[in-house]
Amino acid sequence: PFMEAVIKKVAQIKRGDPLDTDTMVGAQASQQQFDKIMSYLEIAKGEGAEVLTGGAAEKLEGSLATGYYIQPTLLKGTNQMRVFQEEIFGPVMSILTYETEEEVIRRANDTDYGLAAGVCTNDITRAHRIIHKLEAGICWINAWGESPAEMPVGGYKQSGVGRENGVSSLAQYTRIKSVQVELGGYNSVF
């Protein structure tokens, strides 16, 4: 039932004009990014990933016909597949099945990257336990992709070291200087 629900949700993602508030995914920013994502999809298929939905370029009509659209894609496979090990930055979700909590944490962390992670469960205690063991810079519990301005965003490992958004990101643009001033009577040794 879970996998069926995810497939249905991904298949319902509305593609189109990014200025339309009903649009959930717009075109890729460039031919280069489009080609990169499409090559990842071909590599995934060649490595035996199962395409559960999507997996192809998509032509929209009218003024959107020249956009670099890709169907929202859901892939099922293994950690050894390149698509599970690298950052694609496209409308592609890679999904792994697991048996134990320890296994899913180990497999999720078995990558050189760590930008984002999410946990979906009715057990909030379990979600927090898992999230704190995941090597990812931004994490969601029972949500995905929302990044309010006050929430610092950034990766772990090869996904980067800096942060955007939030008060903590200001530290990258400042230098700290500590100054102590004695306003009372001070007996100088000089």
Q: Are residues 126 and 40 in the same domain?
A: no
Residues pairing with 178 in the sheet: none
Q: What sign for the dihedral angle of Cα 79, 82, 85, 90?
A: negative
Tens of pLDDT along the chain (190 residues) come to 888 999 999 999 999 999 999 999 999 999 999 999 999 999 999 999 999 999 999 999 999 999 999 999 999 999 999 999 999 999 999 988 899 999 999 999 999 999 999 998 999 999 999 999 999 999 999 988 888 888 888 999 999 888 888 888 888 888 888 998 888 888 877 7
Cβ(58)–Cβ(70) under 8 Å? yes
| CATH code of the domain containing 76 | 3.40.309.10
Question: How many structural domains is the chain composed of?
Answer: 2
Q: Are residues 132 and 166 in the same domain?
A: yes
Between the alpha carbon of residue 183 and those of residues 7, 111, 112, 159, 188, the distances in Å are 68, 55, 53, 48, 13
Domain residue limits at 64: 1-97
The model scores a pTM over 0.85: no
